[in-house]
Amino acid sequence: MRLADLDYALPRELIAQEPPAARTDARLLVVPRDGGPRRDAHVADLPALLRAGDLLVLNDTRVIPARVHGRRPSGGRLEVLFVRPAGRDDTWDVLVRGTPRPGERVHLPDADGEWTVALGDGLWRLAIRAPGGVLAWLDRHGEVPLPPYIDRPAGPSAGDRDRYQTVYARTPGAVAAPTAGLHFTPELLAAVARAGVATATLTLHVGPGTFQPIRVDELAGHEMAPERYVMPPETVAAVVAARAGGGRVVAVGTTTVRALESAAADGGLAAGAGEARLFIHPGHRFRVVDALLTNFHLPRSPLLALVAAFAGWETIRNAYEAAVAARYRFYSFGDAMLIS
């Protein structure tokens, strides 16, 4: 499959700039993988759309306020996105907008740093001295790293620290939200449980690999940047139990799919920590995931390639065209699809 195939037309006004008034207000397009008729629903209908015995798997990563503004010694402005610690808390890999040089100092709010080495694709290693540790410092001075297609600044007034975070987020480390999970509330999770659906969690820290563009014509030539994940033994056991009872594994979001499929790449689903490097595109054989709750994704993106692999590109293209015609809201703060 070629990159140009993963395209569709989207009016700009359908890109959601704000979250819905309530998390469960989002619309839900139900898309059968077998080519059956689509139907319109709402996220609040999810308990009735799942089956007793199913297992809902959630990514409990927590978005850190990872974007910070700094200055070069000359006074030039820099925008820094803290991606991941590079082995120790005082050395991080960061994405930077600007033109740093190795050995150059960078002035940050209430902290100082020094560029050590360029890693490629805008990624740099930064040695930083931040009072109380980098995560605590980011919590004081960082901004929520909203995607670039949201045409407004992030800030407390918009409630982004709350709404660009799942209600079950536990482990800090993501630079973007696992957005399918943004639709859940404690009440919805309780209703899912009453419907006889179990839940389990894993952690995949969303990083640049999720949103970096595909720059090759042939999809098979794209390489994903690695993202750290942890697969708890309890989640592996829950998957085994659901399968034994005839239930489906329902992944909430593409990041959950990547963690599950990466952990099963050598056969059975393996517990433990690892790095998800798997680029899922048409032709992939799914070993774990039976159904997927996901938002609508950008054209020509790795996430759209994953969804196309799961349901077939013709099914997804038709579903996206129907969603545009029905004025669904797209991307991070937008509506969702249930593909089963």
Mean pLDDT of 108-126: 92
Range(s) for CATH 3.40.1780.10 in the chain?
3-63+161-339
224-249: per-residue pLDDT in tens?
988 999 999 999 999 999 999 999 99
| pLDDT the model gives residue 303 | 96
Tokens of 295: 């938002």
**Topology classification of domain 67-142:** Thrombin, subunit H (2.40.10)
Confidence of residue 108 (pLDDT cuts 50, 70, 90): very high
8 Å CB contact between 76 and 98: yes
**Topology classification of domain 3-63+161-339:** QueA-like (3.40.1780)
150-200: per-residue pLDDT in tens?
988 775 545 899 999 999 999 999 999 999 999 999 999 999 999 999 999
Q: What's the start-to-end Cα distance of the chain, in Å?
A: 23
Torsion of the alpha carbons at 13, 19, 24 and 29, rounded to the nearest 10:
30
Partners of 114 in the beta sheet? 105, 127
Range(s) for CATH 2.40.10.240 in the chain?
67-142
Selection from 340, 332, 275 nearest residue 310 by Cα: 340
Q: How far apart are CA 87 and CA 165, in angstroms?
A: 25
| pTM (2 d.p.) | 0.94
8 Å CB contact between 336 and 183: yes
Q: What is the mean pLDDT of the chain?
A: 94
Secondary structure (3-state) at 145: coil
Selection from 253, 262, 314 nearest residue 60 by Cα: 253
Selection from 54, 29, 123, 22 nearest residue 318 by Cα: 29
56-95: per-residue pLDDT in tens?
999 999 999 999 999 999 988 999 999 999 987 789 999 9
29-46: per-residue pLDDT in tens?
999 998 899 999 999 999
